[in-house]
Copies of this chain bind each other. A is one copy, B any other.
Amino acid sequence: MSFIKVGVIGVGNMGSSHIQLLDKGQIEGATLTAICSRNESRIEWIKNHTEGDMQIFRDEETFFSESGIDAVLIATPHYSHPELAKKAFAKGIHVLIEKPAGVFTKSVLEMNEAAKASGKVFSIMYNQRANPLYQKLRDLIHSGELGEMKRTNWIVTDTYRSQSYYDSSKWRATWKGEGGGVILNQALHQLDIWQWTTGYMPKRIHAMSSVGKYHDIEVEDDATVYVEYENGATGVFIASTGEVPGTNRFEIIGDRGKIVVENEELTFYQLTQSEREFNKTYKGGFGKPEWRKIDILVKSENANHASIIQNWIDSISKGSPLLAPGEDGIKALEISNAIYLSSWSNEMVELPVDPDHYYEKLQEKISASTFEKKNVTNTTLDVKGTH
């Protein structure tokens, strides 16, 4: 069996974690042959924390041209994902990008085009899609068991961050460096799972976000989002990095019941008949359709980055279908871009957002920024146990 030669670019919190997975041989059929970083202290860290024989590059052009890699895992700061992916595709290299796909859809659309033209395997680190809990939820909805969707509600506030997290690097939680806060970073997984499990993208969004509410940062650390879907259903999404202990509770109501995902458990309240039918025929005033409570036994696995990397490698070597196609990265980002636009304008925003318009508005935020980080510590954080 031949090994896929994998390179990693970016050795921050996530990159370091992926490098260790690959270096320890935890990804079958892959071998880590090259790493690229401009940061000498991270290069030092690699030398002390890996055992494999790998080339080290300090310059991305040389990395892509001379490393001889088949596939690259891109784990640099958000803004650079589309540019680096396009460079990789141009060299005929398969790509797995960390989330988010980018910061604005304009560049992500270009990346998706480049991916398509290259014919290479393109995936995104939406590792929550590998969680059996959300796979089961998706099955229940897509099979029609829940019936026509009426409402969604996701409170995802269990992503607490202290000021020291934001102070760990200069680019974090700035418009210029990261391009967003809790919505673009911590809650992006859930924005993807929200649309992926239900099969519905919002059509209109009205969002309220609070900038630096709990932290000394220039982006939002708290947001409340209202959405409307094409079929008339509505939804709410709440994200915050300022609450302890947070909540992670996803509720979806359909014509044939309700599903609640909370505390890593999935509960299905299944009606014995359609509510819409009951409503038409029942004559007794205060009655309700009958239901039963079903505890769906499924194990939650939160932090399985390895599954996504393995799936990507398997797709390259065996043609396995991708769990998280890279092109899907734009969906959560479109929701995210609409949330920001609505928050900035205090108006309802229709999806999809115009890519040029969003790009311009984001540039205005960057240009207008006067924010200075006071205590940057330049620390790489251990992501073990985070999602």
Contact = CB atoms under 8 A, between A and B. Distances in A.
Contacts of A26: none
B284 A243 contact: no
A199 interface: no
B348 A165 contact: no
A245 B291 CA distance: 7
Interface stretch (A14-22, A125-133, A234-242): A234-242
A224 B234 contact: yes
B214 A226 contact: no
A363 interface: no
A150 B243 contact: yes
Interface stretch (A61-69, A85-93, A107-115, A272-280): A272-280
Given A164-B283, A224-B226, A224-B234, A348 B346 contact: yes
Interface in A148-194: 150-151, 153, 155, 157, 160-165, 168
Given A282-B164, A286-B165, A247 B236 contact: no
A244 interface: yes
A288 B157 CA distance: 13
Interface size range of chain A in the complex: 35 or more
B155 A153 contact: yes
A213 interface: yes
Contacts of A226: 208, 224, 226
B258 A243 contact: yes
Copies of this chain in the oligomer:
2
Contact of A285 (B162, B234, B244): B162
A236 B234 contact: no
A271 B287 CA distance: 42
B258 A247 contact: yes
A288 B258 contact: no
Interface string A352-387: 000000000000000000000000000101110110
A198 to B, nearest CB: 16
A37 to B, nearest CB: 20
Given A215-B279, A282-B162, A244 B288 contact: yes
Given A213-B232, A234-B222, A279-B215, A285 B243 contact: no
